[in-house]
Structure 1
């Protein structure tokens, strides 16, 4: 299993747009073979940092998801939402493995 951890720097004035972006990706990742563990939005502390965590059975399965998402119209709409609204300033992606 491989888990993907995303750290987002978001525009706090566009939090509603980021929430919509996150809602879309939870169902998209699940539909495309992954397990989405959720988005985690600012509450106390930093107002411009959010996280997401999702898993795939293997790195190969994640790569298949990446290829499928590049062709999927709903995924492209989600990417476009972020580009259009500029709700995401930048992000970092890390690959993790669970401790058995």
Structure 2
């Protein structure tokens, strides 16, 4: 499994618009086989940083999602909404391997 970590720099005067954009994408990712873990909007601290996390079974599954999303009318409408409202200034995408559960450690570590 891989998790896509998206870090957005957003316009802090357009958090409502970004939240609408986020709500558009959650069901789209899931419709294409992903598991969305949510968007995380500014609350305390930096007012222009938001994060999204979603997982796919593999990088290949993620690539299939990207291909299908590029041709999907609802996905294109979501992209157009962000562009029209200019709620996103820029974003970074990283891929990580999640650890959801782990067995108890075999060794004790003393600090």
1:22, 1:13 → 2: CA distance?
16
Cα root mean square deviation, aligned? 0.8
> Secondary structure, in 3 states, of the residue corresponding to 1:42?
coil
Gaps of 5+ in 2: 103-111
Aligned ranges for residues 67-78 of structure 1 at < 5 Å? 67-78=67-78
TM-score when scaled to structure 1? Answer: 0.98
> Secondary structure, in 3 states, of the residue corresponding to 1:43?
coil
TM-score when scaled to structure 2? Answer: 0.88
Moved >6 Å (runs of 4+) = none
Residue number in structure 2 paired with 1:5:
5
How many residues are matched? 100
Higher share in helix: 1
2:35, 2:72 → 1: CA distance?
18
Gaps of 5+ in 1: none
User: What is the Cα deviation at residue 7 of structure 1?
Assistant: 0.3
